[in-house]
């Protein structure tokens, strides 16, 4: 019998259906892996008892010939940004350390109703703000990958969904949920060598997800194959009246064209992504990806997205502005940490000073500044206008291409401690992922190969709004051509 | 633009985050680097461009203004620090 923790969603489903193993056995195998790899710090809260009970319930359903859906009985990790009823939800922050939601987020609820088994709450950057999973109050996550050639220095898994990515590549979970505001699903997927998919803004409900930047936040699947991502998104997506920005559209069959190939499709390579100083290995994997698609019959053309270089500065006005507004709710009164003070204002100030980490404070203060009287027009309004131009670039490009191919990140996973002292340097990690976020477009990172140091590098595809079907179609072709089967030693 | 200590103190006050006197300069340097970075946008011509305020091409839904939920104050306040009898509590604000 195959090693249970090596199974994909698709393979595990077949095994469960055939009776080769039970959901309880599958879940226990992943719980054992969690215990074995505890030092990665991929989980903030583990829920093994609940997982085994839910797996037993799944087995009971199956014994009666019933199924709750395509994820029934499959053990997953839940990013600790999704509110989960009666399970502590911290958002990686000290300020939410004592918070146990009495309600369930729509996306985690859909996965739960679909029979999937939650193994625990995955570590993340505090309030999803970070690109290395080093800002978590509960400690950094270790990337299971180390460089080849004896360089054993600890690497970051990327962020903010770093715990989710590490759990999936280390075979502690068959899949995981992530959330993506500027690259928080795709960049860690690239750093860990897995598939990470951000759907179109509005495809998944944001209800019950701890808010960071509401016009950008979007949930998505993190898996080991493109097919698994399509299966998992099918369960996560759907209109939700409780989120007014949830799209009132029917959910397509995301797996419909996985095997259709790319013959006749047109793929764009944006020339502005060929930035100065791009490492040769990033350029190489990008060219390789274009060659693979061309070899399978796609037409690959150069396109222009003229405002690309302004996406990151636009993001670092809009996302902090929204964050400063969203995080105003943490006041020590209604939930979370309270630190007493001489009066109400001092209680607020003490609570927020102690409850938030440095990166969160930084973004709240930037956001407060760009929204403050006298600066609003110069920064926030200006950024909203540039955001229109970024969207217009994509709209124009998609008149002539079906999808856009870029690298996911400008480097492979870096060593823990690097880039830590210079926030702007850290922000540059998201240079290739932020533009699609600004435009609300679906995008996916697929493993493309290994760097010179033997670390995974992702390829990034951007699709048309609400056309995830074509995005999965191209991603599947890319995955097949890449034939990526590398895994970190010892996992 | 470089932010000075007085500006940082003003922002921190608006954001209700306690920043001590001896931290002000470090924050001023830190935040100035980011503000300088985002000021690249000065070179973009946005004449006649509408601000992007939403992502989808659908309008936000309306619903009747009626109560659809509620009636469980104990649950809502279950996470409140020092919550009591289904109420939140704050330090005394009226003398």
- Check if A121 is active-site: no
User: Residue A315 pairs with which residues in a beta bridge?
Assistant: none
pLDDT at A406: 98
Active-site hit among A184, A255, A437, A445: A184
Task: Return the C-alpha torsion angle A226, A228, A230, A234, nearest 10.
Answer: -170
Q: Are B75 and A368 an interchain contact pair (Cβ–Cβ within 8 Å)?
A: no
**Residues of chain A with C-beta less than 8 angstroms from the C-beta of B44:** 307, 310, 382, 386, 389
Q: Which of A102, A244, A337 sits opposite B78 (nearest CB)?
A: A102
**Residues of chain A with C-beta less than 8 angstroms from the C-beta of B51:** 381, 384-385, 387-388
Q: Which of A316, A364, A427 sits opposite B17 (nearest CB)?
A: A364
Return the DSSP state at B63. Answer: -
Q: Which two tokens stand for residue A185?
A: 């699903």
ipTM above 0.90, yes or no: yes
∠ Cα A430 A402 B44 (to 5°):
45
E-strand ranges in A259-416 read: 266-270, 299-303, 403-407
Q: Are B31 and A366 an interchain contact pair (Cβ–Cβ within 8 Å)?
A: yes
Which residues of B, range 61-80, sit inside 8 Å of A by Cβ?
61, 63, 75-80
End-to-end CA distance of chain A: 18
CA distance A186 to A197: 6
Q: pLDDT confidence of B53, banded at 50, 70, 90?
A: confident
CA distance A458 to A157: 13
User: Is the Cβ–Cβ distance between B34 and B11 less than 8 Å?
Assistant: no
- Check if A184 is active-site: yes
SS3 A423: helix
**Residues of chain A with C-beta less than 8 angstroms from the C-beta of B75:** 102
pLDDT at A1: 55
CA distance A45 to A41: 10
Instruction: Indicate which of B3, B16, B28, B84 best probes the interface with A, i.e. most A CBs within 10 Å of its own CB.
Output: B16
Return the DSSP state at A143. Answer: P
pLDDT for residue B93 is more than 90: no
Per-residue tens of pLDDT for chain A, all 491 residues: 579 999 999 999 999 999 999 999 999 999 999 999 999 999 999 999 999 999 999 999 999 999 999 999 999 999 999 999 999 999 999 999 999 999 999 999 999 999 999 999 999 999 999 999 999 999 999 999 999 988 999 999 999 999 999 999 999 999 999 999 999 999 999 999 999 999 999 999 999 999 999 999 999 999 999 999 999 999 999 999 999 999 999 999 999 999 999 999 999 999 999 988 889 999 999 999 999 999 999 999 999 999 999 999 999 999 999 999 999 999 999 999 999 999 999 999 999 999 999 999 999 999 999 999 999 999 999 999 999 999 999 999 999 999 999 999 999 999 998 877 888 888 989 999 999 999 999 999 999 999 999 999 999 999 999 999 999 999 999 999 999 999 999 99
SS3 A221: strand
Which residues of B, range 13-42, sit inside 8 Å of A by Cβ?
14-19, 27, 30-31, 33-35, 37-41
Question: CB contact, 8 Å: B45 with chain A?
Answer: no
Chain A: give the shortest CA distance to residue B64, in Å: 13
Question: CB contact, 8 Å: B49 with chain A?
Answer: yes
Q: State the Rg of chain A over Cα.
A: 21
- Check if A108 is active-site: no
Which sign does the torsion angle of CA A205, A210, A215, A218 carry?
negative
Chain B: give the shortest CA distance to residue A134, in Å: 18
User: Is the Cβ–Cβ distance between A76 and A236 less than 8 Å?
Assistant: no
- What are the φ/ψ torsions at residue A175 (nearest 5 degrees)? -165, 170
Active-site hit among A22, A58, A79, A257: A79
Chain A: give the shortest CA distance to residue B85, in Å: 14
Instruction: Indicate which of A88, A352, A385 best probes the interface with B, i.e. most B CBs within 10 Å of its own CB.
Output: A385
CA B24 to chain centre: 20
Q: pLDDT confidence of B59, banded at 50, 70, 90?
A: confident
Q: To which H or E segment does residue A17 belong? A: helix A9-18
User: Is the Cβ–Cβ distance between A161 and A218 less than 8 Å?
Assistant: no
């Amino acid at each position: 019998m195959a090693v249970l923790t090596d199974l994909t969603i698709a393979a595990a489903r077949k095994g469960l259906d055939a009776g080769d193993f039970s959901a309880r056995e599958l879940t226990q195998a992943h719980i054992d892996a969690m215990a074995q790899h505890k030092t990665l710090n991929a989980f903030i809260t583990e829920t093994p008892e609940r997982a085994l009970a839910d797996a037993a319930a799944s087995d009971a359903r199956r014994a009666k010939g019933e199924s709750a859906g395509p994820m029934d009985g499959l053990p997953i990790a839940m990013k600790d940004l999704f509110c989960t009823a009666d399970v502590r939800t911290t958002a990686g922050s000290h300020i939410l350390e004592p918070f146990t939601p009495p309600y369930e987020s729509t996306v985690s609820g859909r996965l739960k109703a679909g029979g999937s088994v939650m193994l625990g709450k995955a570590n993340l950057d505090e309030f999803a703000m970070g690109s290395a999973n080093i800002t978590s109050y509960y400690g950094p996550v270790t990337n299971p990958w180390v460089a080849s050639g004896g360089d054993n220095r600890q690497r970051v898994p990327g962020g903010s969904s770093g715990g989710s990515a590490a759990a999936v590549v280390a075979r502690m979970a068959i899949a995981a949920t992530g959330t993506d505001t500027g690259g928080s699903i795709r960049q860690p997927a690239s750093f860990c060598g897995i598939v990470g998919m951000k759907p179109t803004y509005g495809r998944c409900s944001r209800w019950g997800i701890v808010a960071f930047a509401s016009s950008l936040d979007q949930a998505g699947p993190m898996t080991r194959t493109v097919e698994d991502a399509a299966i998992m998104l099918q369960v996560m997506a759907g209109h939700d009246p409780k989120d007014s920005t949830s799209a009132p559209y029917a959910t397509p069959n995301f797996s419909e064209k996985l095997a259709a190939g790319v013959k006749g499709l047109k793929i764009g390579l944006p020339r502005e992504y060929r930035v100065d100083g791009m490492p040769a290995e990033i350029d190489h994997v990008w060219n390789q990806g274009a060659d693979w698609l061309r070899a399978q019959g796609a037409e690959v053309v150069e396109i222009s997205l003229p405002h690309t270089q302004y996406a990151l500065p636009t993001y670092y006005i809009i996302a902090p502005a929204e964050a400063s507004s969203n995080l105003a709710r943490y006041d020590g009164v209604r939930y979370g940490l309270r630190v007493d003070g001489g009066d109400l204002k001092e209680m607020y100030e003490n609570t927020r000073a102690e409850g938030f980490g440095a990166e969160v404070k930084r973004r709240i203060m930037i956001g407060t500044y760009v929204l403050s009287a006298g600066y609003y027009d110069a920064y926030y309004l200006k950024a909203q206008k540039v955001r229109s131009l970024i969207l217009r670039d994509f709209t124009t490009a998609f008149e002539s291409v079906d999808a856009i191919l870029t690298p996911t990140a400008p480097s492979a996973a870096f060593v823990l401690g690097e880039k830590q002292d210079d926030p702007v340097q850290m922000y540059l990690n998201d240079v290739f992922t932020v533009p699609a976020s600004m435009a609300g477009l679906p995008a996916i990172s697929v493993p493309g190969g290994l760097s010179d140091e033997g670390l995974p590098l992702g390829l990034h595809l951007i699709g048309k709004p609400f056309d995830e079907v074509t995005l999965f179609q191209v991603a599947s072709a890319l995955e097949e051509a890449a034939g990526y089967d590398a895994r970190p030693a010892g996992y | 633009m470089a932010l000075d200590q007085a500006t940082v103190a003003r922002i921190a006050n608006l954001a209700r985050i306690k920043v001590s006197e001896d931290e002000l300069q470090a924050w001023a340097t830190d935040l100035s680097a980011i503000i300088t970075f985002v000021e690249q946008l000065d070179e973009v011509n946005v004449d006649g461009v509408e601000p992007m305020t939403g992502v989808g091409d659908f309008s936000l839904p309306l619903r009747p203004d009626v109560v659809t939920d509620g009636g469980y104050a104990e649950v809502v306040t279950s996470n409140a620090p020092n919550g009591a009898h289904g109420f939140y509590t704050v330090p005394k604000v009226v003398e």
